[in-house]
Structure 1
Amino acid sequence: MEDKNDAEDKVGSRLQRYFEMQIQKEKQKLERRVLQLFLEGKLYSSNIEMESVKARVSELLLTNRQLNARITAMENKREVSETKKDINAIVDKNFKKSTKSSVLSKGNSVQVSSLDSTAKSEKFVKAQQNLSITENTNQPTKLKLSHKPNQIQKLAMAKRLLTGVHTTKPPFADGVAFSAFVSTYETEISKDHTIKFDIIVSNIGNHYNLHSGIFTSPQHGVYVFTWNLYCRAGGYIFSQILVNSNAVGGMLTSSNGATSFRTTTGVVVMEVNQGDVVFVRIHSTETQSGNLFSHPDYRSSFNGWKIY
């Protein structure tokens, strides 16, 4: 009877040790999983912060280029203004000299004593300088055209040309719009992967960064964003569009049952603040299959524009 009790005690001890080992293993697995989730969360936050920093750097570079362009335009305008003043001074000086000269004809002498303010007009310059008085003993006085322009004519012409010089605003000064597509296959797409649409079709305002795949809003307003993805036969891709770190739209591109490839398009219309970043990424938790397709005739693209 005692042997039986000892055998039962040994079995019980073994079972207890076994369960304790299993519990310890499950505990270690849970600790590793918690650590993994913690590290993934840190990595995700770091990726978002890095993308935001890159977008901010691109925005600062754009602002610097715009300021340099404005400074250059102001300098050019100032040079044109100074040149106009110099030419006006030279023209006025020559006008004063011309008023003291006399126009002589045979048998008649005509002296110019004074001119009113309208005599300095462009019409008078043309009539006075382009035409020379000739005479004929049997005919009345005639006017003969001068073929070679003199110095005053050249100055008057330059003045007339400079009068029309003015600085114009570049087209789409306040416009915000972009369109870009993927140039090559992306065969290894992973969760939380930002899609870089690396070929720019249009980038009015230069607020889309082809290196990061991020659009940075230059001003508050309502925007439209669209993105379409192509997927090979038998594959499927879950994608999202994000504003900062918030997913505002999602899409499934599935080619199950297709013999070639398929595409889907997502559209969002939303209010965006100045400095917000907008980009398209692979879903952070859903599993993907296949690859992101790109072909000269079929492009996966990302587009956006401001409505008001």
Structure 2
Amino acid sequence: MKEEKIISLLKRKFKSPKGIVGIGDDCAVLPYSKKEYLLFTTDTILEDVHFKISHISPYYIGYKALAVNISDIAAMGGIPLYAVINLGLPEFNLKLVDAVYRGVKKIACDFDVRIVGGDTVKSGKLFLAVCMIGKVEKKFLVKREGARAGDLIAVTGQIGNAYVSGKHYKFTPRLKEARWIVRNLKPSSMIDISDGLVIDLFRICQASKKGAVIIKDEIPVSSGVKNFYSAITEGEDFELLFTIPSKNKFQDKIPETKTKITIIGEITCRPGIYLKTAQKLKKIKPQGYDHFERNNFGI
């Protein structure tokens, strides 16, 4: 994937100091206090890439811009604290700006995030770029790296139909779920599914230098999914994908939110992602959403 090539280039150019998680995970992890790390993340949503202004209320553009960053913080086991927001506008439209920031304010209040600054520019298309700071207890930090052979692969909620259903505009970040998971299931690795289950599982495997087998009949696809392969590669599900040692105690439902957790496979020593069906075991390509490939599944 072309995005991965850009990330690899940046990782070579900007080496992370010892003790710091830099480029390549959901958040950068920085020194903070004796018991906690600082988390730092950023995401951009752009008109005609992540949304069409004719298809979505500006309220949900603001909502989603903050939600995707909260989801990144959740994937590291942390809690969001502060955000700055950069807004690009094709033309002055105060009514639109007000609607966008009503969406921002709603989710910021829901997740106790303080908006502390930003920037506004004139641009060819509408965009929002958010930078967010959070924190995580050192004992609860979870990275993409850490999965071990024999670990079980688990996912929250359901996969697929995020575009058709409109879920990708209105999803609730799995912050409560992530905090429960790190406290109770002790995951060895975790990621949020933004680009698709397959490619995001590949990212865990790549960081951990492992492979995986996933079982087709165990993957919880959303009702109404017509194409299974599209469901596991389209992305924008914003569910949590994580691994847990098989010896750890497992619960299939998070008590506070009633969110279902499903075991869908196992980490292996053999490289690559394999899909197990009733008939065979088939290696599948680590495909998912890529901004620079012709696989943009629609907005």
**TM > 0.5:** no
Q: Tell me which structure has the larger Cα radius of gyration.
A: 1
Higher normalized contact order (CA 8 Å, seq sep 6+, divided by chain length): 2
What is the TM-score normalised by the length of structure 2? 0.24
Higher helix share: 1
What is the TM-score normalised by the length of structure 1? 0.23
